[in-house]
Structure 1
Amino acid sequence: MTTTTATPAPPFGRALCAMITPFTDSGALDLDGAQRLADLLVTEGWDGLVLSGTTGESPTTTDAEKSALVRAVREAVGERASIVAGVGTADTRHTVELTLAAEQAGADGVLVVTPYYSRPPQDAVEEHFRTVADASGLPVVLYDIPGRTGTRIEPDTMLRLAAHPRIVAVKDCSYDFLGTQKVLSRTELAYYAGCEEHILALYAVGGTGYISTVANLVPRQLRSILDAFDAGDTARAARLQQRATELIESTMAAGLPGTVTVKALLNDLGRPAGPVRAPLRPAGRETADGLRAAYERLRAA
């Protein structure tokens, strides 16, 4: 068995935000709001922004809106941050089209989720990712989130895909820490925690960083976990991770999608967000108040 001990270099930085997609009150794409939010997040210390992912409501935005969002955010942040565009669909051909459009719009990489609903077997999953990676010059982040797609990227499939020169990273929402460590120990794939409760745990065993929904709300607080660990203060890193637990739980494990809870709090804070698109529905006042209280407690800690 081949092993590797060096942590892979972060292809898009360590701290990435899975950015929401702001909409106007009428539900249209709010490019001005997206630019202001992107600038705020990068100013707060984020290395990269992931657009049109789960948090960015990709199932309900059009192909043209996805491209326009990449162009607008690139204009706002310039080269201060990397931009990774979510392009994953249930259709390989459509995913290739979105990948080429993202490349033309100025993305630095693409996030490709496992094809959902049709439940392809592992050889078909592997071929899907290879086809997308072969289609453009952009590096690819594999998005492993079987809880949403219904299909896992099995560790052995990851090991084979790691040999592709443009498949460089994984957003890990597998909740299979043993499988993740198996791939980490045998490849140079850059692993990003896709679940905020795993930020420190994955980083401590050789992960590259994280792609965070909660980062829309508290970018400095989450980045400080990595900073403390890198400084050798692992006890402080653990305390910072623990302090964030209440807000992480309120945002990501309260029975509502993270997009809904994040937009509720951002709207309450007067930041660009706007409504969610149907079939999602906005959070109620009680939920928004609870989120605001958890947010204020973390900010004061």
Structure 2
Amino acid sequence: MTTPPVPSAPPFGRALCAMVTPFTAEGALDLDGAQRLAGRLVTGGCDGLVLSGTTGESPTTTDAEKSALVRAVREAVGAGVSILAGIGTADTLHSVELARAAEKAGADALLAVAPYYSRPPQDAIEAHFRELADASSLPLALYDIPGRTGVRIEPETMIRLAGHPRIVAVKDCAYDLMGTQKVLSRTDLAFYTGCDEYVLALYALGGAGYISTVANVIPRHFRSVIDTFDAGDTAEAARLQQRALPLTELMTASGLPGAVTAKALLGRLDLPSGPVRAPLRPAERRTTDQLLTAYEELTA
């Protein structure tokens, strides 16, 4: 009987947070708040932080703000925490510029969505990601979120891209477990779920971990899900995953973007957040009250 191979360590750790971008009350970038929030998340068990992603309101932050955010968070958390910089735009050349700027600012890796709005075919999407991977020396994670971009990174495209030495991971928000398993079975790509309700499910299928929006407020809880699973107590891991469902549903499936709900709850907890930028609008008081109640019930 042969011993199965030991899986390689995930490239960015297992527990990552898709961090909000804190703003001041006037709407300016709050670098002090970003540093304080990043420190809390790392203390709460996060191995890495994703900056300027969907939850980080990347469409409404400037290129200079994105670089400043990476530099500030790197200063706050030190060298032992993975920082992934979101560089995805609808413009390949712009994304290339952001990749180079993120590397210069101190990011460890890049995260990029498929080009949105123009809906390019799969060969163009593949070429886009290859150009981004060649633009710097940093590893690249593909971000598959067709609900926002309007286009899939199809499994066969991922399988081809896995041959590139710097394309190492996927943030999976496609809600396609069949396709995910196909890529997992045929490549070494590290899959991180970006859907909090799938943290345990994808991890149990061989995923690397998660990039969580809800972890902005409960970083320790989802870390405990995967730690408990690793310890062999699958029933308790399932209980912990299900226990987080009410808050997860309110934050990610209530019809409001995660940036809105995460900032609303962080604000009520007196943690760095600030307003969202237009066209997003702040959550109503009733929604924020519901979020706080779910949070208190989970953490009681």
Global fold match (TM > 0.5): yes
**Secondary structure, counterpart of 2:115 in structure 1:** coil
**Secondary structure, counterpart of 1:55 in structure 2:** coil
Partner of 1:199: 199
Partner of 1:167: 167
1:153-173 Cα offsets, whole Å, 9 max, x none, are 000000000000000000000
Pair 1:65-2:79 in alignment: no
Pair 1:259-2:259 in alignment: yes
Pair 1:235-2:235 in alignment: yes
**Secondary structure, counterpart of 1:274 in structure 2:** coil
203 and 254 in structure 1: CA distance in 2 versus 1, 3 angstrom threshold: same
- Kindly state the Cα deviation for residue 7 of structure 1 after the two structures are TM-superposed: 4.0
Partner of 2:149: 149
- Kindly state the Cα deviation for residue 8 of structure 1 after the two structures are TM-superposed: 4.3
Partner of 1:74: 74
The one-letter amino acid paired with 1:221 is H
1:121-177 Cα offsets, whole Å, 9 max, x none, are 000000000000011100000000000000000000000000000000000001000
- Kindly state the Cα deviation for residue 6 of structure 1 after the two structures are TM-superposed: 5.7
**Secondary structure, counterpart of 1:112 in structure 2:** strand
Distance between the aligned counterparts of 1:261 and 1:7, measured in 2? 36
52 and 246 in structure 1: CA distance in 2 versus 1, 3 angstrom threshold: same
The one-letter amino acid paired with 1:212 is S
- Kindly state the Cα deviation for residue 80 of structure 1 after the two structures are TM-superposed: 3.1
The one-letter amino acid paired with 2:206 is G
Partner of 1:24: 24
- Kindly state the Cα deviation for residue 61 of structure 1 after the two structures are TM-superposed: 0.1
Distance between the aligned counterparts of 1:79 and 1:169, measured in 2? 20
Partner of 2:189: 189
**Secondary structure, counterpart of 2:83 in structure 1:** strand
1:80-134 Cα offsets, whole Å, 9 max, x none, are 3110000000000000000000000000000011000000000000000000001
The one-letter amino acid paired with 1:214 is V
**TM-score scaled by length of structure 1:** 0.97
1:200-248 Cα offsets, whole Å, 9 max, x none, are 0000010000000000010011110000000000000000000010000
Conserved in 2, the CA contact under 8 Å of 1:170 and 1:191? Answer: yes
Partner of 1:49: 49
**TM-score scaled by length of structure 2:** 0.98
127 and 6 in structure 1: CA distance in 2 versus 1, 3 angstrom threshold: farther
Moved over 2 A (4+): 4-9
1:16-71 Cα offsets, whole Å, 9 max, x none, are 00000000000000000000000110011110000000000000000000000000
Distance between the aligned counterparts of 1:9 and 1:115, measured in 2? 29
The count of corresponding residues between Structure 1 and Structure 2 is: 297
Distance between the aligned counterparts of 1:207 and 1:7, measured in 2? 11
The one-letter amino acid paired with 1:24 is T
Distance between the aligned counterparts of 2:241 and 2:194, measured in 1? 15
Distance between the aligned counterparts of 2:6 and 2:170, measured in 1? 17
11 and 238 in structure 1: CA distance in 2 versus 1, 3 angstrom threshold: same
Distance between the aligned counterparts of 2:5 and 2:26, measured in 1? 51
Pair 1:105-2:113 in alignment: no
Conserved in 2, the CA contact under 8 Å of 1:8 and 1:190? Answer: no
93 and 297 in structure 1: CA distance in 2 versus 1, 3 angstrom threshold: same
Distance between the aligned counterparts of 1:290 and 1:7, measured in 2? 41
Partner of 2:284: 284
The one-letter amino acid paired with 2:182 is K
The one-letter amino acid paired with 2:177 is F
**Secondary structure, counterpart of 1:89 in structure 2:** coil
Partner of 1:214: 214
The one-letter amino acid paired with 1:159 is I
**Secondary structure, counterpart of 1:279 in structure 2:** coil
The one-letter amino acid paired with 1:229 is F
Q: Percent of aligned positions with the same letter in both sequences?
A: 74
Which ranges of structure 1 fall in alignment gaps of 5 or more residues?
none
Partner of 1:298: 298
The one-letter amino acid paired with 1:264 is A
Partner of 2:123: 123
Conserved in 2, the CA contact under 8 Å of 1:5 and 1:185? Answer: no
Pair 1:223-2:223 in alignment: yes
Conserved in 2, the CA contact under 8 Å of 1:42 and 1:80? Answer: no
